[in-house]
Structure 1
Amino acid sequence: MPAVAVTGEFPVDDPRCLTDVTVPLPVVGPRDLLVEVQAVSVNPIDVKMRRRAADAITRGDQPILGYDAAGVVRAVGEDVSRFEVGDRVFYAGSQLRDGTNAKFHAVDERIVGHRPTTCSATEAASLPLTALTAWEALFERLGANIYSNGSLLILGGAGGVPSVMIQLARALTGLTVIATASREESRDWVVEMGAHEVVDHRRSLSEQVLDLEPDGIDYVFTTHTTGHSGELAELMNPQSQLCLIDDPEDFDIIAFKKKSISLHWESMFTRVIFDTEDVEEQGVILDRIAEMVDDGRIIPTVGETMLGLKASTLAEAHREVERGHVTGKIVVKS
């Protein structure tokens, strides 16, 4: 079957950074689905894994990247119970197996959701990784719920995960949502997603946020922590909650310790990598997200669509992600 792999160490501007290859159909395990991939989206983790492929290439492997996918089930393993051939699905995949940048992909049914019925494969593919990350960060790490009030500050508001978190917070909590954005396009996007207020992360965050919320912030989620930890500690309330998904180059932990601020890291691959007892919760979350899309409470976050699941198209998507300033998600339709 056709697939796109990393076959050598090349920068993203080199056309050899990704390669069209032909590989055997994936082996379907007892709890696996064989999915015909209709669309994928490209996330920062795709770029990171392409850059880190050197060891695999040295071993003679040709890693197939890709996580987000939407498609149709073409075969099921003998122990599969939640899906049938012909079901339309979406999911975020695993770091432990070949990825979704291929015509067919095998995935554990426990981390798969039934696709929303009201949107296309392209729209569905924009959601799984970011929706799972946003859900786990907001409800499982920060501990927000339907009774939560106060304020939520989201740094990097126009990105994929924040775009979903804004919508989840508006739909399922009583929190006032403040998101950061700098460019006019980004500000318009976060307002469309539902943010109550927008602040510019290029200016003093503490000054802008405390002007809006003089009593301080109760919950913070950030995708861009570097350079902001001091200000975050200043504007956050004692005994409040901070969740981050990035790898900050600087982090003044003492400032957070003084306020007994709880720090949480979120990685949506944790359940899959460690095969946790509740790994099937990811399939449950995706089904819930699909219901919210069908109810009109979640809008798919497609920022740009590219055509053709091939090396040249995916390389262009990687280049855009590496450049930064991507609004929403880049989706590649097969």
Structure 2
Amino acid sequence: MRAARVRATSPDGTPYGFPGNPAPSSAIEVHDDIPKPQISQPGEFLIRVKASTVFKDNLEWNELYPPNHALLGNDFSGVVVAVHEDEQEFRIGDHVYGMTHAKRGGTWAEYAVVTSEETVKKPDNLSWEEAAALPGSAITADQALFVHAGLEATAEKGVKQVLITGASGGVAMYLVQFAVAAGHFVVAATSSKERNESFLRSIGAHEVVEYNEFNALADRFDLVIDSVGFQVLSDCWGVVKPDGTLISFDACSWGYIEEHKSKGISKGKEGVQALYFIAEPSRVSMARISEHVSKRNIKGLVLKTVSLNDVREAYESVHSRGIGQGKVVVLP
């Protein structure tokens, strides 16, 4: 089958690995002779991949390198073509979508093995491309809000003040929509209101602010979720309540929160619950996402589509310039 993978070593034979020697985009190769994967245990099934997406920092994931040897691609939509003999829920011909675990990847390919924990049935009102564009970003948003922050999915116990930074980005725009749908008051932070306020209002944000306005927001928010990192993350300490929660999932925030807490940069807010997390596949999260889709609260946003032959150039573009409002979708 045709699939994309990362060459294991540099031209001089040096093994690629993270963090010391991550593979460059030139190491992404498309081959026509990669063996079709096979299901081997209950809970696995084989899909014919219809669409996948590009993650901007995929070559900087630890899981891509030994001992995991993960192939590229995690988001997917597709058709079930084989199931384990013990499978009870999924059937050949089912239309499905989801996200594979980072330790396996493999959806930049014509076929991929996925698991029941990674997969749900695709709503009829999503195209293949829209379905593939949703899981990675929407799962991250769902787990940030309702798993790690412990936000109530309905605001029956009280409306929380929520700040989302980088709010027009690929994950953060779902953070805005999910928090608003749950009944909480959402302030969207952006580098430019002129450029992004109209969009952010259209997806439900109650207020839109720029980062230079943070001084007027001191100690206001029960929950702050940062998707930008660097100076913006540092400034978030000033706007979260002393007993609030601060969450980051941006890769540049790895270790940053604990380091800053230990140095006292949290400005004396010892009660702040601060954490960094990496999203994982979850049928529970996907079920909530599918419910939003069925109610037409959200849909996958597609920036453009590319063929498998063009994934290297697509990755280079996304990694260097970001993706804006939508995903680059790969069609095997």
Is 1:75 the counterpart of 2:85 in the alignment? no
Which residues in structure 2 correspond to 1:210-249 (within 5 Å)? 210=217, 216-246=220-250, 247-248=252-253
Cα offset, 1:299, TM superposition: 2.7
Please point out which of 38, 61, 76 is paired with 2:50.
Answer: 38
Is 1:264 the counterpart of 2:275 in the alignment? yes
Cα offset, 1:184, TM superposition: 4.8
After TM superposition, the score normalised by the length of structure 1 is 0.83
- Inter-CA distance 170–155: structure 2 relative to 1 (3 Å threshold): same
Cα offset, 1:216, TM superposition: 0.9
Conserved? CA contact 2:219–2:242, under 8 Å: no
CA distance in 2: counterparts of 1:193 and 1:100, whole angstroms: 30
Number of residue pairs the alignment of both structures matches:
309
Is 1:27 the counterpart of 2:26 in the alignment? no
Please point out which of 105, 112, 127 is paired with 1:105.
Answer: 112
CA distance in 1: counterparts of 2:179 and 2:213, whole angstroms: 21
Is 1:180 the counterpart of 2:195 in the alignment? no
Per mean C-alpha deviation after superposition, the further-off stretch among 132-141 and 77-86 is 77-86
Is 1:64 the counterpart of 2:75 in the alignment? no
Cα offset, 1:23, TM superposition: 0.8
- Inter-CA distance 293–9: structure 2 relative to 1 (3 Å threshold): farther
Cα offset, 1:14, TM superposition: 7.9
Please point out which of 306, 312, 315 is paired with 1:315.
Answer: 312
Q: Which amino acid aligns with 2:214?
A: S
Q: Which amino acid aligns with 1:41?
A: T
Is 1:144 the counterpart of 2:151 in the alignment? yes
Render the CA deviation track for 1:194-227: whole Å, top value 9, x for unaligned: 22222233xx24235x2xxx76111110122211
Please point out which of 123, 126, 139 is paired with 1:132.
Answer: 139
- Inter-CA distance 189–325: structure 2 relative to 1 (3 Å threshold): farther
Please point out which of 89, 106, 121 is paired with 1:114.
Answer: 121
Conserved? CA contact 2:226–2:233, under 8 Å: no
Conserved? CA contact 2:187–2:209, under 8 Å: no
Give the SS at the match of 1:220: strand
Please point out which of 319, 327, 330 is paired with 2:328.
Answer: 330
Give the SS at the match of 1:44: coil
CA distance in 2: counterparts of 1:140 and 1:62, whole angstroms: 29
Conserved? CA contact 1:76–1:85, under 8 Å: yes
Conserved? CA contact 2:73–2:108, under 8 Å: yes
Q: Which amino acid aligns with 2:276?
A: W
Please point out which of 99, 105, 108 is paired with 1:92.
Answer: 99
Q: Which amino acid aligns with 1:248?
A: S
Per mean C-alpha deviation after superposition, the further-off stretch among 218-227 and 170-179 is 170-179
Render the CA deviation track for 1:264-307: whole Å, top value 9, x for unaligned: 222113xx6xxxxxxxxx113212211211211123232x1223
Identity %: 28
Render the CA deviation track for 1:40-89: whole Å, top value 9, x for unaligned: 1112342424x986x54xx9x97520110111111111232221111111
Q: Which amino acid aligns with 2:122?
A: R
CA distance in 2: counterparts of 1:195 and 1:143, whole angstroms: 20
Please point out which of 140, 148, 172 is paired with 1:162.
Answer: 172
Give the SS at the match of 1:258: coil
CA distance in 1: counterparts of 2:36 and 2:5, whole angstroms: 14
- Inter-CA distance 229–102: structure 2 relative to 1 (3 Å threshold): closer
- Which position in structure 2 is the counterpart of 1:289? 289
After TM superposition, the score normalised by the length of structure 2 is 0.83
* Cα root mean square deviation, aligned: 2.8
